[in-house]
Amino acid sequence: MAREFEKVYQFKVSLKGVRPPIWRRIQVPETYSFWDLHVAIQDAMGWLDCHLHNFEIVNPRTGMVEEIGIPDEEGWGEIDILPGWDHKISEYFSSTLKKARYIYDYGDDWEHDIKLEKILPKDPKSKYPLCIGGKRACPPEDCGGVWGYYDFLEIIMDPSHERYEDILEWGGDFDPEHFDMDEVRFDDPAKRKKFAFG
């Protein structure tokens, strides 16, 4: 059952290291957990949510940076990652704490700047989460991070390149300038969690 809420948090999500910029502007309920926010970012950006992730954000109560995402139950990591589903965005983001970093896919290491732009009253005519802006297509999954993406773009723009046919077959009909807000579809975060973890 959907939780009642009165306010929405408006975030700008920007992919770091890529020019021209790739970004999305989303609005989410104040009741969202970091897991819920993760799902909204994945869906708005166009990622496929098939890799690990975490947020890095200052805990306003301690002043220390915390990592929130999917805990490392095997104990391989050096840093404790707090479970995203147990931590609410409203406990961290505020008018004085507006920024976080979001990392997706520890191999390709896609870093995103997360900026809280506004806290707004809920519009009763709107269904949240909501994507209200953005520019350019998200890079293809598993393309090798920022530098791999630049190589990918160089190859798909040059039909004479020796790897053109292979990359086209792998990456499909990719238009780096394409973004249409009307194509964004948001999954239910609870269903995504159940699908991912059972």
For the stretch 70-120, pLDDT in tens is 997 765 666 789 999 999 999 999 999 999 999 999 999 999 999 999 999
Considering the domain delimited by 7-136+179-197, tell me its CATH architecture: Roll (3.10)
* Residue matched to tokens 């920024």: 99
Mean pLDDT of 45-59: 97
Assess contact for 80 and 67: CB atoms under 8 A. Answer: yes
Domain segments of the chain as ranges: 7-136+179-197, 139-174
Mean pLDDT of 17-37: 97
Of 80 and 9, the one with more pLDDT: 9
Mean pLDDT of 146-156: 93
User: Exposed, middle or buried, 76 (CB in 10 Å: 0-12/13-18/19+)?
Assistant: exposed
Query: Over 70: is that where the pLDDT of 1 sits?
Result: no
Query: Over 60: is that where the pLDDT of 185 sits?
Result: yes
| Residue 97 pLDDT | 95
| Residue 183 pLDDT | 96
Backbone phi and psi for residue 196, each to the nearest 5 degrees, phi listed first: -75, -40
Q: What percent of the chain has pLDDT over 70?
A: 96
Query: Over 50: is that where the pLDDT of 164 sits?
Result: yes
| Residue 75 pLDDT | 58
